[in-house]
Amino acid sequence: MFKQQAIEIIRKAITEEGILASAQQRDNYARVWARDSMMTGYAGILVNDEEILAGLEKSILTLAKHQAENGQIPSNVVNGKASFGTHVGRTDATTWWVVVTCEYLKKTEKKELKNTLKSKIYQALSCLKTWEYNQRGLVYSPLGGNWADEYVTSGYTLYDNVLRYWAIKNASEIYDDNELKDITVKTKKLIQDNFYKNTSDSVKYHETAYARTSAKPYFWASLNANGYDERFDLAGNALALLLDFDLNLKDFSEFLTFVSDEFKHWMLPAFYPVIFPGDDDWRLLENNYSYSFKNEPYHFHNGGSWPIFLGWLCLALNRKGIKDIPEKILAQYEGLMNEKGEHFREYYSTDKLLPLGTEQLCFSASGYLLMTY
């Protein structure tokens, strides 16, 4: 039942410009957002739905048409007008576009389209290279520079760097580029060595900060000039797991169970632990918003639970042969949709499990589809 509903919601969001963020087609969501349309398109690839795949191609071409001179992909496009971000640009708009464009080319084997988009893809990779700033291999994102645009992580974030790795990897395979394949190997090692406590003798990005880190059963959220943010970033870790980064699966599964026990449900928070007034990071939260403050404890990015990223986590765990946790997450999500009568809302508060944010969101419909694969 829910699977067909999810597919229908996505189909309703398809326009001539591409896949919009919500089937409701209103407000800020009536735009072709790079990250939303690309993740939604990836779900379309998984379920092999022709309508969604056609919408994905439109999204790819719309975003490519408005690519900036430096190779940056727009955060969103509406009525032929591109936005690259309000307070800051969005690093993950460019990475998600490259990742899923390559996945689409792999799926469809459209040679002419592959040739047409090659220069656009390489321009985007060149842009990402400039965002290293220090030419040492990791992309640097400003505060508010990715999907968690009202949250506190910044710098060399796990999420953005794993996505950048995936972008290089996919492009290297699609265009059989040996130079990119070499960069792929180096980038993966760099992330593995710098976001996870290990005994590698490789030179660390920030030796002093690394020496002060504590071992965690997951990859740390970010590294900055002032040290590490050792918080748990569910999205970054889900993608790292999906892309075969080296993580102790037993310890990681036990950690997820520990978090579930603490919250007393399986709608796991996007970031953990939750930030409260009086905590050091609260000041970074309280002014970082565009329209209204959403990051109260257990809400939005600050401990809210996002079905889209639970979907990526389930997909990764299922591919690793870990079935019990995805089953619990899927059952919890389906149970909430049945109980509340509201389907595919943007996120849930993790204290009271309230369905919040935009309705009929393609993000959440896609998350559900990812959970089932």
pLDDT tens for 174-190 read 999 999 999 999 999 99
Report the distance separating Cα 110 and Cα 287, nearest Å: 46
- Measured between alpha carbons, how far is 77 from 64 in angstroms, rounded to an integer? 10
* Segment 88-107, tens digit of pLDDT: 999 999 999 999 999 999 99
Q: How far apart are CA 232 and CA 313, in angstroms?
A: 13
Stated length of the chain: 373
Distance of CA 176 to the CA centre of its chain: 26
Show me where the domains of the chain are located: 248-373
Token match 């990779």: residue? Answer: 125
Q: In the prediction, which pLDDT does 136 show?
A: 96
Task: Give the strand order in the sheet containing 220-224.
Answer: 156-157, 220-224, 227-233, 271-272
Q: Are 7 and 47 in contact (CB under 8 A)?
A: yes
The Cα–Cα gap between 293 and 249 comes to 36
**Cis-peptide, bond into residue 355, ω within 30° of zero:** no
Residue 286 has pLDDT above 80, yes or no: yes
Query: Across all residues in the chain, what is the average pLDDT?
Result: 96
In the beta sheet, which residues pair with residue 222? Answer: 157, 229
What's the pLDDT band for 252 if we cut at 50, 70, 90? very high
Q: What is the pTM of this model?
A: 0.97
Taking the C-alpha atoms of residue 176 and residue 163, their distance in angstroms, rounded to an integer, is: 19
Structure confidence at residue 370 as a pLDDT band (50, 70, 90): very high
> Are the C-beta atoms of 332 and 311 separated by less than 8 Å?
no
Structure confidence by residue, pLDDT tens digits, 27-71: 788 999 999 999 999 999 999 999 999 999 999 999 999 999 999
Separation CA 346–CA 338 (nearest Å)? 16
Confidence (pLDDT) at 290: 83
Q: Which residue has the tokens 């992580």?
A: 153
